[in-house]
A and B are shown apart, each in its own frame.
Chain A
């Protein structure tokens, strides 16, 4: 059983209830078509499970086959410095076929970011290192393709398409709840 290493911490981008009983972590690549397919599925899961789930996205850019994936990841981190990580994450996945620099700046503009600051931030070493560290943590955790999901710290090897991930999460939630009742 492969474990998330390191576990979710303060450098992560966390969406949803921070003390939710379910924690879903995705290692994803913004240019990966499978991650693009998983994007609305994860949104639907968050909608359905509400405060029972928190979602964390970690970068796993496969730069050799996806030349824009790394810079797109850095762009989300730079947007994060202006409080718009998830907005950038969303707009990128919604337009994942056009992730060249020109489009990234268009997105930044659309989100109302301070463009000068954004331009400066995407070249900063700490942001680049953040993306590299995410990738390395993915390797350590046993990520072997994108997307790879971890649920409450354990690698999910099942199918995520259609509503299979949602059903699985619901079953974990039920299991958790019954444990709470037992104790």
Chain B
């Protein structure tokens, strides 16, 4: 995992079959980057379903959630549709796992992303990260605490 305080590596990946999303386009917002092993797998399903309910809470902190896995954009499209997700899933498909590698969140053995979370601030700096055991859904408490802490620090500095 990349240490807190480092600049989040920029990337551009497919978010739908014909649209790409670039991390640096999201400057001025916080970004929650959730790397996960695979669409359709049991734990990922639970994790993303939970995050899908969190939109209101993330919005309070001016934060956008983005999921990343090595699945194809077509798999993501079906996965989003099936679960009614309201946040983008990016396809780290070619070169496979390239972005996950740059975030030190790639599992070479399985050829999948690890279950890794990053919170990136408005300036593109990594402020929090968490690597969860692959079989365990990390929940959202850690993310929420990190977002709150960032906003608290900001209000203290003002």
Contacts and interface: CB of A to CB of B under 8 A. Distances in A.
Given A64-B84, A65-B83, A139 B49 contact: no
A139 B55 CA distance: 13
A145 B46 contact: yes
Contacts of B140: 139, 144
Interface in B115-153: 137-141, 144
Given A140-B141, A143-B139, A144-B138, A62 B49 contact: yes
Nearest to B137: A144
A149 to B, nearest CB: 14
Contacts of B47: 144
B53 interface: yes
Interface string A112-139: 0000000000000000000000011001
Contacts, number: 42
B50 interface: yes
B52 interface: yes
**Contact size class for B?**
10 to 19
B86 A64 contact: yes
B35 to A, nearest CB: 17
Interface of B: 46-47, 49-50, 52-54, 57, 83-86, 137-141, 144
Question: Considering the complex of A and B, which 8 residue pairs feature the smallest CB-CB distances, nearest first?
Answer: A144-B139, A144-B137, A145-B46, A142-B139, A142-B141, A64-B52, A139-B140, A64-B84
19 contacts: A62-B53, A64-B52, A64-B53, A64-B83, A64-B84, A64-B85, A65-B49, A65-B52, A65-B84, A139-B57, A139-B140, A139-B144, A141-B141, A142-B141, A144-B46, A144-B137, A144-B138, A144-B139, A145-B46
Interface of A: 2, 62-65, 135-136, 139-145
